[in-house]
Structure formats: C-alpha cells, structure tokens
Amino acid sequence: MDYQKAVFGDPPACQVHEPSANVIGKAGRVAHVKSDLDGTLLRNDATMSKQSITILNKLLSEGLLFTVASARSVITIREVINGVNLSLPIIELNGAFVSELSSGRHLIINHIAPALLPRLEACIQKYNAVPIIATYDGQRDRLYYNRAHRPFFPWFEIPTFSPI
C-alpha cells in the first residue's frame, strides 16, 4: 500500500461521462482540453516544439478551450509554454492552486484538511518520506522542502525545513 492511499483512503470509483453539448465544438470536436506537461505536451528536453506551439495557437484561435495541469509551479509553466496564447487559468502544483498564468494570482486554493494531518505525519514517518509542501500565505507562495531537493526548486526561497 502506498502512502497516498494510506493517507487519503481508496480513490473514488472511476466514472465515465458522455460528453455533453457544452464540451463539443464545431464539427463534433471536443472543445475543452486539459493537458499535463512533462511526458505529454513537452518534449524530453522540457520544451515545446515550434510546430506544437503553432498548431496549439491555431486551435486556440479557432475556439479550443485549453489549459494545462502540472506538478510544476506557475513560474515554470509560464517558461515552458512561452509563446502559447493560453487564456484559461492553469492548474499548478498537482492541483494545489488554480491560477492565472499571466499574473500568478490564485483563483482556487486547495488545502489539506487539518483532520488529515495526523495520518499524513504518520505516513511520512512510516515510509520515511521527504515531503515537499506548497503553501500560500496570503501574499506569496512558499515551498517547504529538504535541502536535498534544492536543484529542483531554484525559484523559491529556502525556508528551514521542519517536519510536520
């Protein structure tokens, strides 16, 4: 059993929905798409090809409602999709925030329910996990992590890590 299941329990059963009229565009094409970045929209070198940018911008200009959902922060999402005329908010940090791409302003902040914290702490200890914790203090984003993670998060200040 992995620690996510131990903390959050079994995921809900997968539900398949038929597309409704509001997601079908011209010529029966899907009109709303969310895409991951790494391993999906981006190449192995974490960049988008010029051809992909051109095609995506053409689809956006034709009315495609498109956004990205990523484990990345708004800062690195902005860097890797530079040139894409994205107007919808992005989903960052694995759903922790739904944010405006241009400003970074959070429209939705998803938090861990305080009641889950004891279970989360127990799982961190049980699996000897090294958590990475994203927060928003009302003015700026903060990322708490062990210094061993530093090469992956050069855009955040390094607060002193303390276990939960």
Q: Which of 85, 68, 64, 87 is nearest to 76 (CA)?
A: 68
Mean pLDDT (the chain, rounded):
77
Answer yes or no: pTM beyond 0.75.
no
Sign of CA dihedral 79, 67, 84, 140: negative
pLDDT digits (tens, 9 = 90+) for 4-50: 455 445 544 333 334 444 444 555 656 678 999 998 999 988 999 99
* Structural domains in the chain, sorted by start: 3-152 (3.40.50)
Q: Is the distance from CB of 38 to CB of 46 less than 8 angstroms?
A: yes
Q: For residue 157, how many other CB atoms are within 10 A of its CB?
A: 9
Q: Give the pLDDT confidence of 40-59 residue by residue, as tens digits.
A: 999 988 999 999 999 999 99
